[in-house]
Structure 1
C-alpha cells in the first residue's frame, strides 16, 4: 500500500533530520557527539516504527477498512504526529457512460472573441 510506504519513508526522513547518523553525516564528527540523558527519544521511536514490518498487515487492514492510521512519538520538548487516512474519490463518468445511463452531456466552449 503506497500510503503506508510513504508514511514509513516520512518517519525515517524526520528521524534522520532530528538525529543524524554520525557515520553518514560528513559535517558531524565523532568528537562532536555528546551523550543525551535518558528519556523519550522520538527519532529512535520513529525508526523503530518505520522498520518494524511485523505490524504491517494489521496497518494495511486498518487503512483498507476506512480508518486513519496515526503514529505519535514524544521527545522531551514536543510530540511528533504522522497520519494517513483513506480518501474515497468519486470517479467522473465518461460521456459514453453518461449516455448509457440516459444522461445528456453538453460541451461548454468559450465564445468570447
Structure 2
C-alpha cells in the first residue's frame, strides 16, 4: 500500500511598501514583488536582490554607479536612510546564515526598513507546507489501466 508522500516546504516571498499617497496623505500599501521559491537559499537570494533593486531605485549606490559620486561631509540629521539599510541587510552574509537556519525550522522572517521620505519597506519570507498529490496505487494483482482521450474511435468498439 502506498503512503502519502512526505510534505515539503516552499518559501513565499513578499516585498511590500507602505506610505502616504502624495497630495492626500492617506496611507496606502503597495505589493512591489512576490514569488515562491523551493529552498530557503533561493528565497533569500531573491529577497536580497529585491532589497538592492529598491535601494538603487531610491538612491543609486555611489560605489557602483558610474555617474553618482559619493557625497561626503553631508549631515542629514536624524532622518533614517532606507537605501543604506536595505543595502546593509542585503550584504550581511553572517545574518543570512541565521535567516536560513530560522527558515529551515519553519519560522517566518521579516525585515522592515523605514525611509523617512518614502515610507517603510517590508521584506518577508515565510515557509509553506506543500504536499504533492499522492501517486496512483499500483498493485500486481490488477492490470494497469491507462485512459486516453481522443477523437479517433476505438477499433474494438465498432
TM bin, normalised by shorter chain, reads: 0.7 to 0.9
Q: Is 2:103 aligned against 1:67?
A: no
Residue number among 114, 126, 132 corresponding to 1:85 in the alignment:
126
Structure 2 spans left out of the alignment, 5+ residues: 1-40, 140-144, 152-158
TM-score in terms of structure 1 length = 0.72
Q: How many residues end up aligned between the 2 structures?
A: 102
Scaled by the length of structure 2, the TM-score of the pair is: 0.54
1:36 and 1:110, CA in 2 relative to 1: closer, same or farther beyond 3 A? farther
CA distance 1:15–1:93, shift in 2 (3 Å): same
RMSD between aligned residues: 2.6
SS at 1:43 equivalent:
helix
Q: Distance in 2 between matches of 1:108 and 1:72?
A: 52
> For residues 92 and 63 of structure 1, what CA distance do their matches in structure 2 show?
24
Q: Deviations over 1:39-74 (max 9, x none)?
A: 200000000000011112211111111111101000
Runs of 4 or more consecutive aligned structure 1 residues displaced over 2 Å after TM superposition: 21-26, 35-38, 105-111
Q: Which runs of 5+ in 1 are unaligned?
A: none
Q: Choose between structure 1 and 2: higher strand proportion.
A: 2
Whichever structure has more helix as a proportion of its residues is 1
